[in-house]
Amino acid sequence: MRSIWNGAISFGLVSIPIKLVNATESHSISFRQIHLSDGGRIRYRKVCELDGEEVATAEIGKGYEEADGSIIPITDEDLAQLPIATAKTIEIVSFVPADEIDPLQMDAAYYLAANGPTAAKPYTLLREALKRSRRVAIAKYALRGRERLGMLRVVDDVIAMHGLLWPDEIRVPEGVAPEGRVSVREAELDLADALMATLGEVEMESLTDEYREAVEAMVSAKSEGAFEPPAEADVEPAGGKVIDLMAALEKSVSAAKASRGEPGPEAAVTPIRRKTASAPKSVGGKKSTAATKKTAASGTKKTASAKSTSARSGADKSAAAKPAATKSTAKSTSKAASAKKTAASAKKATPRKRASA
């Protein structure tokens, strides 16, 4: 890869010669402006305002425009001679945890390549120190005519640098948040959590630019003369429509599960209703019959128990009221049993006669 800047990393008293290489590239499709009547290309020409002549790129320099419109020429040599340490040096000023860097400050990304054999040892030292400390380095450097802020971190076995915006370049989000107080129910948060869990994680390498692919396919079809306008997709207009948030979340969870091939019934839509006093929920017929039988059996059991208790109580009172009669009855019963026993013994002792033929 071609380097766009050569310099050194200043790490205390350690100097590491490096080359700056672009870490990203744009794959977006660019279009040219054409004349609609004949398809001719429209070009921008750089013309001098004083003499009206077109100027080549090699003859174009920099200039600073003052308030009165006058231009002060500025050359690359003027910028290179500025008394700042970062003119050709990436100067590390501190090391901080990565989560202290606001992603809003992130700008362009670069790879820092060791420039020459002598740079290999200090380059590796800084890389391993960043790995072990689990921190990132904050640095200042100058590029394309201005001093910038950067963050150095390790990517695989390479030191990468992200350009950072200066803190005063981040705008305050005034008037961006929704106006007024908005309350969110716990049930809505639970469904949002369920949707997040269902969508899960994704491998960044699997994501593609579908718009660019569609444009490339259209351009290819047009160049071959086989282009047919596709049918318009049914897209519901967004914004300004009051929706049932709970229903939308439930449908989203169901759709996410279906897209991942996960089993499960479709999520039911929960209508929004006012809270009112309602009668107890009725249960199924079988359960009601069983409950009725159980209640009847319980009632019968209680009735039998009551009768038993009443009979026992009456017997106790009767026994207490007539003790003499009970003793007399017991003696008579004993004599009768003794007489029966004597008669049975006599009958057993008498031998039976055999019947003659």
Encode pLDDT of 69-119 as tens digits: 999 998 888 877 777 777 788 999 999 999 999 999 998 999 999 999 999
Cα–Cα distances (Å) from 296 to 283, 301, 319, in that order, read 18, 9, 35
Judged by phi (left if over 0) then psi (alpha if -120 to 50, else beta), residue 175 lies in: left
Pairwise CA distance, residues 220 & 227, whole Å:
8
pLDDT of residue 37: 94
pLDDT at 165: 94
Give CA–CA dist 221/27, Å, rounded.
Answer: 20
**How many of the other CB atoms lie within 10 Å of CB of 179?**
6
Tens digits of residue pLDDT in 148-163:
999 999 999 999 999 9
CA gap 32, 44 in Å, rounded: 11
- Does residue 329 surpass a pLDDT of 90? no
When the pLDDT of each residue in the chain is averaged and rounded to a whole number, the result is 76
